[in-house]
Structure 1
Amino acid sequence: MAGTEGGGGRGAGPLLLGVRHHGPGSARAVRAALDAAQPRVVLIEGPPEADALIPLAADEDMRPPVALLAHAVDEPGRSAFWPLAEFSPEWVAIRWALEHEVPARFIDLPATHTLAWEKDDGEGELTGEEQPPDPTDETPTAGTPSSEPPSAPEPSGPDLRVDPLAVLAETAGYDDPERWWEDVVEHRGAGERDAFAPFTALEEAMGALRETYGVGGHERDLVREAYMRLQVRAAQREFEDDVAVVCGAWHVPALRQKAGVAADRALLKGLPKVKTDLTWVPWTHRRLSRASGYGAGIDSPGWYGHLFSAPDRPVERWMTKVAGLFREEDRIVSPAHVIEAVRLAETLAVMRGRPLPGLGETTDAVRAVMCEGSDVPLALVHDRLVVGDVLGEVPPGAPAVPLQRDLDRLQRKLRIKPEALERELELDLRKETDAGRSRLLHRLRLLRIEWGEPVASRGSTGTFRETWRLRWEPELAVRVAEAGVWGTTVLAAATAKAEGDAIGAQSLADVTALAERCLLAELPDALPVVMKVLADRAALDTDVGHLAQALPALVRSLRYGDVRGTDTGALTEVAAGLAERVFVGLPPACAALDADAAEEMRRHVDAVHGAVALLGDASGHGHGDTSAPGQGDGPGPGPGHGDLRGRWRVVLRTLSARDTVPGVIRGRAVRLLLDEGELGPDEAARLMGLVLSPGTPPADAAAWIEGFVGGGGGLLLVHDERLLGLVDEWLTRVPAEAFTDVLPLLRRTFSSYEPGVRRTLGELVRRGPGKQVGTAATAAGIPGFGAELDAGRADAVVPVLRLLLGLDDVVDNGDNELVGVAG
């Protein structure tokens, strides 16, 4: 092999380059060694089934970080990833081989065995890398084994899980393995004469560790290493010793070992298999971090990427990046800050005996100079730069399941690009492109592909507005492969999935929620199936609570259908029939309930009240300002359903008058009737007076008050002096022995009010009866209220209101005061 004479890391046999899987120093060292050795073939740790995918690494559209994804054909959720970043030694080896037109091959245990081998290990995902403390880095996958793997030989040393880097760092006197690795490998000076020296040293160190610890608690490595030895021998027969092997440093002593072919084949005999597919998928720096749970993770992928891309003056360039980030966040950072931070980092490196400033020194310098000692802005540097949100790209020609190709097509058509950085997307459903984006995101959610999460829209409550929080995670590629069993396009797969979910739904509420999602996703072919299941379930379900829980989702679906121009006639019929059954069953269902059940039923009453109001609008009144222009009124509920609101008011009156109904429900029924204008203030005050009379137990009266004034009822008491007076008078009459029982209930009721409302109520009660409020006399017996309108105080507000409404012009009166002039 050319250029290897005298190399300390090069002797007879193949060139073994032991690396850390994600490290810029290792990556540069691999490139230097390959340049020096000029091998005729490069063998790389990875699944051999991916050999056909290696040429794609040279595609101009391939941008790391990326990962090899292997998944079982019959069970796509059983998957494994082999992530590669620009600074991964394996990626550098692949690129070197392609640039020099040298064959590159993967030699690790095939994924067909790896996926089957892990079937009995529970839920999760596999990562095909090795990095201490777990050199296999395999997190178990879902499934049950079809056969058992052969037993691997017992380790020669103690059976404990060893972290080789931690042991070597401790031996060298370091308390941080990351800092030791940076000093020894990542900060090695470029241009050293012996390109093989670092690999020789690592091989000797790992050999000593394996002699002491055996396989360090990772017996499956023996099987993998047996397979790799067989592949190395096969390459030697073809290329003699002009073979370079790039693998985890932990495996190098085992590959150098002179083991018999028969013994290696015996270890591989009888391994289970599953049919697998492999492809390239985008990866992210954040998913390379150890904090993400990745076994071969590193603490600072963004920092390592910077070291690899900026080998000259890395500290100066890093400080410039940090300053740019702070300026984007409107923090004042000058060039002087950058200069001072660089000097401080270099000084700290000298004081700590380090060859170059590392991440620790640069972080301390940034904290002291640019953050003024605060860790708050420093957290932004760690999140955006030290870890980072870089998302790789894969060329369109990479193998993919049909569903993935259709998703890629829709993403390009709708101009909605996957991004690793979380962002919010505002949609206006009146626009064709935004409506298409909404349909796509809702369909993906039906398929359990959680690319986007709907959030509350800011500044709008209309149904034509949607806000999504988007973030693309690499694992979503697995979800796409899993969803491929439902169809080859997003529309077909979402339709089939919705139909399957409807048939397998466990409760009526699940079916109604699914109907709502079908309308949001615009799945007209799935809706008839869902509606049939919904009608059947509604006819058989006799639990009023279930019916009341299901009704609001159905009514919301009508609004969504209206803004999307969807025919919801069948859905309206089911919703109206469901409402009728709730009306009939609710009064008897509210009798003889304990406190918890009464509170739950009160929430059902609120939900049904809102649903009936919307359903009444759908019967011919449209949606006013909340619907999209040009969409027309909602479909009517059909004959016999025109007076749902009237029948609901009858139900509320029944609930308010029955003594067997818990007080919290009776109070809420009175409040809803009052809000609807079906009950006058005088009548409401009379009913409250009856409930708060001395003959009513204090606990029942407190429950009635909670139902009546809870949930935003504070303003009602502020503006209605009679109701506040009744509550105040009742509270003063509660016996001392009963006061401690009703206090928690009252505290819960009034603590839900806004602070301003609570303060106003306190001031009104503190003034007491007979006090003056402004210029009007307070009515006798009513705390804090005047007997009639105070015209003077009311007139003082008029100019301000006119200014706010734009009815007046604003002029300067010469006394530096702005006054309104009537138009």
Structure 2
Amino acid sequence: MSGAAVAGAATPGRTATGPLAGPAAGPWLLGVRHHGPGSARAVLAALRAARPSAVLIEGPPEGDALLPLAADPRMRPPVALLAHAVDDPGRASFWPMAAFSPEWVAIRWALDHDVPVRFIDLPAAHSLALKEPAPEDPGEGPERAEHAQEEEVTPVVDPIRVLAETAGYDDPERWWEDVVEHRSPTGERDDGGMPPEGAAPDDAPGDALAPFVALAEAMSALREAYGDGGQPRDAVREAYMRIQLRTARKEFGDGVAVVCGAWHVPALAARTTLAADRALLKGLPKVRTDLTWVPWTHRRLARQSGYGAGIDSPGWYGHLFEAADRPIERWMTKVAGLLRGEDRSVSTAHVIEAVRLAETLAALRGRPLAGLGETTDAVRAVMCEGSDVPLALVRDRLIVGESLGEVPDTAPAVPLQRDLTRSQRTLRLKPEASERELDLDLRKETDAARSRLLHRLRLLDVGWGDPVAGRGSTGTFRESWRLSWEPELHIRVAEAGVWGTTVLTAATAKAASQAVAATALADVTALAEHCLLAGLPDALPVVMKALADRAALDADVGHLADALPALARSLRYGDVRSTDTAALTEVAAGLAERICVGLPPACTGLDPDGAETLRGRVEAVHGAIGLLDTGAEPGTGLRERWGAVLHKLAARDTVAGTIRGRATRLLLDEGRLPEDEAARLMGLALSPGTPPADAAAWIEGFVGGTSGGGMLLVHDERLLGLVDAWLTSVPADLFTDVLPLLRRTFSAYEPGVRRTLGELVRRGPVPEGARRDDDAPATGGFGPGLDRARADAVEPVLRLLLGRPPEPAEAAV
């Protein structure tokens, strides 16, 4: 059923018209909301009152063998039943359950009281066969691969919305809270606790089964008006459930209880024949399946996660289910604790005032009790001082929640999952639902092993962690990861199980297979880098052979340039990771030589987009060759040959302006080009005979992006003067053509750099031959010159830092 639960009680062949009293009046059809604390409390009260001889639950019958694990003390919800096709693990379904899910409560009650409990929904073997294949995008597949109950998530008609609108509500969630969550559940004591186990049903303050009967009539009316609600496959599921209910009644008598989505209650109570139900099931496709329990998260129960049968606020509902009494007061205390942990000033008085405000808002809005809306408004006004920024933290941490369930080791799992679990425990890498960053020092054996595990999982498409830019160090011995364990990763692990039974063997087999199948040189070089990062020595020979073959056949300079940086990075790992990278050196050197020969001709005759792409490749190759200088003697290595290539690119007029400018800048930064020569090249590029668009492209290559070009202009007055002189000479009718490129160039500078450049330009250039502030002759350019008084003021501090003795005049002072 979609959204809210509607409940019903009836028996096949007859419709209940009044409260069902006594254990012998069954079977009882307890219609529920799949994740609702109100439904869970009502189901628990009904089971205690009715004492059924068996409990039947909407779920895949193949999971019956796994039900005893729910009583294991190491099983901690939220958890989910995972079913996947053996031959196609990506075709999978989840049956999530939280501590406040009625199904979970019913399972635990049955196990605690030695009452037989079974699943009665359409078998997963059929429901998976009826599903469309999971999409290739790993971000979509698991969320769409929910179990068949989620196919009711977005029916043509939302029955609960209809009931809410009929009652005058514009929000179905608010209606559900008022009708179910805020009522005192039948069978509970006034203090919020449940009646003692030994109490007779008559001792409860009301009939525990009456709510199900009352709401069943509403569901029946909706089914009469809207039929299957736009979900024709429900007829097949409901036919199977009716057959299972008939079987259970023959075995256990009429005293059985059925816990199912309330939308199905009228269908289960309908008068049908066994032959008609079997006819609906005839010819259903079937696949071989495996089932197990997997940890789930509160975030995946939330509707925003894509789980449409979920709820907006699982953390809030979990609190309502667990709070024995005073739920609003306890909730405000939780919020206060969270905000205090974030260094916000929240006192006991804030908690008291927030509770009072929530209750006042509920009274003004005509609600029986303060709900999530009232408590959130009160928290915003009192504890967050009207700001939504801290409120977003409350919504993320408490209203939705970050709980990750646990499953005992005795639960079935594919061998690869078991090996991964062992590795996680050995390396003390506990899966967590909340996102966290992990900094690794690869000089430590444990951290290096963690890095290898995470890289192997990435190779297997198990995206537990993503590499991120490290903080505080640029050394190769540091790695930073952002980790977040999602339940769908269990499907990824099952899919990766076809490659091997351990993470190492599976990653090795997949890397070798990808190397053979790869057609692009850059793909093979990236794979070689990944193998070194993941520590896959057995896969490297296959990858290196594929790399040598692709490199020998590929004559495209762009492809070679794309491949070289990955190889250069790989050669850095020999020291810290103790990996032999000698096999890569010869291939990398050969690629670099071919790039040096083929790059200059490739940089001519390019359009602007092609020139920009090749400029990025030139930068990448420049950084890579800095790591690959294999020349045994000065002047004979790759760096010298690459420097000669850059000189050619900087001097040729036929080369695109952005590439000439970048080549000039790279040479200047490395000290291979005198400043006078750099100024000469800039003067030529910005001469009046050069088209403004070409000149702007040269400036973009020379000082554009985040390469520090702004600071270069700040400190080199001659270069700034050349740019200024060219810019002021651009004709007005052509200025609008070069303005977008210039804006892109200078907008990338830091705000402080832009401000300094603006101040220098505002002062204007110092005329040639004029006297500067230091009374020295000016050579042109910008700026007031050297301020000797300010420079002398810092000299004593510099001497102290450098350990140099002060001069006599300073000592006297």
State the match for 1:127 in structure 2. 146
Amino acid corresponding to residue 440 of structure 1 in structure 2: L
Provide the rounded CA distance (Å) in 2 between the counterparts of 1:808 and 1:13. 99
Q: Is the 8 A contact 2:665 2:702 kept in 1?
A: yes
State the match for 2:302 in structure 1. 289
Q: Decide which of 660, 664, 682 is 2:658's aligned counterpart.
A: 664
Deviation for aligned residue 1:679: 1.8
Q: Decide which of 9, 24, 31 is 2:20's aligned counterpart.
A: 9
Deviation for aligned residue 1:329: 0.8
Deviation for aligned residue 1:468: 0.7
State the match for 1:165 in structure 2. 160
Which region of structure 1 is more displaced relative to structure 2, 489-498 or 557-566?
A: 557-566
Q: 1:406 to 1:805 in 2, by over 3 A?
A: farther
Q: Decide which of 182, 195, 206 is 1:187's aligned counterpart.
A: 182
- 1:398-797 to 2 correspondence within 5 Å? 398-616=411-629, 619=630, 643-710=637-704, 711-765=707-761, 766-770=763-767, 774-777=773-776, 779-784=778-783, 786=785, 791-797=788-794
Q: Is the 8 A contact 2:529 2:570 kept in 1?
A: yes
Deviation for aligned residue 1:772: 6.2
Deviation for aligned residue 1:349: 2.1
Q: 1:209 to 1:565 in 2, by over 3 A?
A: same
Q: 1:6 to 1:595 in 2, by over 3 A?
A: closer
State the match for 1:325 in structure 2. 338
Deviation for aligned residue 1:394: 0.3
Deviation for aligned residue 1:350: 2.3
- The alignment's TM-score, normalised by the length of structure 2, stands at 0.90
**1:35 and 2:27 aligned:** no
2:481 partner SS: strand
State the match for 1:622 in structure 2. none
State the match for 1:64 in structure 2. 77
Deviation for aligned residue 1:122: 6.0
Q: 1:695 to 1:349 in 2, by over 3 A?
A: closer
Q: Decide which of 46, 55, 79 is 2:59's aligned counterpart.
A: 46
Provide the rounded CA distance (Å) in 2 between the counterparts of 1:638 and 1:780. 43
Amino acid corresponding to residue 176 of structure 1 in structure 2: D
State the match for 2:194 in structure 1. none
Provide the rounded CA distance (Å) in 2 between the counterparts of 1:506 and 1:664. 31
Deviation for aligned residue 1:189: 1.3
Provide the rounded CA distance (Å) in 1 between the counterparts of 2:44 and 2:523. 57
Deviations, residues 290-348 of structure 1 (Å, cap 9, x unaligned): 11111211111001100110131111100100110110111111111111111222222
Deviation for aligned residue 1:750: 2.6
Provide the rounded CA distance (Å) in 2 between the counterparts of 1:673 and 1:640. 17
1:42 partner SS: strand
1:297 partner SS: coil
- The alignment's TM-score, normalised by the length of structure 1, stands at 0.89
Deviation for aligned residue 1:762: 3.0
Q: Is the 8 A contact 1:779 1:785 kept in 2?
A: no
Q: 1:354 to 1:129 in 2, by over 3 A?
A: farther
Which region of structure 1 is more displaced relative to structure 2, 180-189 or 443-452?
A: 180-189
Deviations, residues 44-91 of structure 1 (Å, cap 9, x unaligned): 110000000000001010000000000000000000000000000100
State the match for 2:795 in structure 1. 798
Which region of structure 1 is more displaced relative to structure 2, 760-769 or 437-446?
A: 760-769
Deviations, residues 219-238 of structure 1 (Å, cap 9, x unaligned): 11111111111111111111
Q: 1:352 to 1:670 in 2, by over 3 A?
A: closer
Provide the rounded CA distance (Å) in 2 between the counterparts of 1:249 and 1:502. 53
Q: Is the 8 A contact 1:130 1:295 kept in 2?
A: no
Provide the rounded CA distance (Å) in 1 between the counterparts of 2:467 and 2:488. 20
1:669 partner SS: helix
Q: 1:749 to 1:169 in 2, by over 3 A?
A: closer
Q: 1:216 to 1:638 in 2, by over 3 A?
A: farther
State the match for 1:812 in structure 2. none
Which region of structure 1 is more displaced relative to structure 2, 180-189 or 15-24?
A: 180-189
State the match for 2:324 in structure 1. 311
Q: 1:285 to 1:264 in 2, by over 3 A?
A: same
Deviations, residues 499-549 of structure 1 (Å, cap 9, x unaligned): 122222242111111111111111111111111111111111111111111
Which region of structure 1 is more displaced relative to structure 2, 16-25 or 366-375?
A: 366-375
Amino acid corresponding to residue 165 of structure 1 in structure 2: I
Which region of structure 1 is more displaced relative to structure 2, 745-754 or 206-215?
A: 745-754
Provide the rounded CA distance (Å) in 1 between the counterparts of 2:380 and 2:803. 50
Q: Is the 8 A contact 1:80 1:115 kept in 2?
A: yes
Deviations, residues 775-817 of structure 1 (Å, cap 9, x unaligned): 344514333364xx665443222234456678899xxxxxxxx
Q: 1:311 to 1:165 in 2, by over 3 A?
A: farther
Amino acid corresponding to residue 701 of structure 1 in structure 2: A
Q: Is the 8 A contact 2:611 2:658 kept in 1?
A: yes
Provide the rounded CA distance (Å) in 1 between the counterparts of 2:100 and 2:257. 19
Q: 1:561 to 1:741 in 2, by over 3 A?
A: same
Deviations, residues 536-591 of structure 1 (Å, cap 9, x unaligned): 11111111111111111110111133321100011111111100000010011112
CA RMSD of aligned residues (A): 2.5
State the match for 1:174 in structure 2. 169
Q: 1:692 to 1:239 in 2, by over 3 A?
A: closer
Amino acid corresponding to residue 174 of structure 1 in structure 2: Y
Amino acid corresponding to residue 167 of structure 2 in structure 1: A
Which region of structure 1 is more displaced relative to structure 2, 161-170 or 564-573?
A: 161-170
Q: 1:727 to 1:216 in 2, by over 3 A?
A: closer
- 1:64-83 to 2 correspondence within 5 Å? 64-83=77-96
Deviation for aligned residue 1:359: 1.0
Provide the rounded CA distance (Å) in 2 between the counterparts of 1:772 and 1:764. 17
Q: Is the 8 A contact 2:529 2:567 kept in 1?
A: yes
Q: Is the 8 A contact 1:27 1:88 kept in 2?
A: yes
Provide the rounded CA distance (Å) in 2 between the counterparts of 1:296 and 1:606. 50
Amino acid corresponding to residue 288 of structure 1 in structure 2: L
| Unmatched segments (≥5 aa) in structure 2 | 1-10, 189-204
State the match for 2:126 in structure 1. 113
Q: 1:40 to 1:776 in 2, by over 3 A?
A: farther
1:279 partner SS: strand
Deviations, residues 432-468 of structure 1 (Å, cap 9, x unaligned): 1111111111111111111111111111101111111
Query: Matched residue pairs, number?
Result: 764
State the match for 2:3 in structure 1. none
Which region of structure 1 is more displaced relative to structure 2, 15-24 or 52-61?
A: 15-24
Which region of structure 1 is more displaced relative to structure 2, 269-278 or 741-750?
A: 741-750
Provide the rounded CA distance (Å) in 2 between the counterparts of 1:791 and 1:370. 55
| Unmatched segments (≥5 aa) in structure 1 | 139-159, 620-636, 810-819
Q: Is the 8 A contact 1:414 1:433 kept in 2?
A: yes
Amino acid corresponding to residue 694 of structure 1 in structure 2: P
2:572 partner SS: helix
Q: Is the 8 A contact 2:220 2:266 kept in 1?
A: yes
Amino acid corresponding to residue 324 of structure 1 in structure 2: G
Q: Is the 8 A contact 1:499 1:529 kept in 2?
A: yes
Which region of structure 1 is more displaced relative to structure 2, 173-182 or 512-521?
A: 173-182
Q: Is the 8 A contact 2:441 2:478 kept in 1?
A: yes
Deviation for aligned residue 1:112: 0.1
Which region of structure 1 is more displaced relative to structure 2, 574-583 or 357-366?
A: 357-366
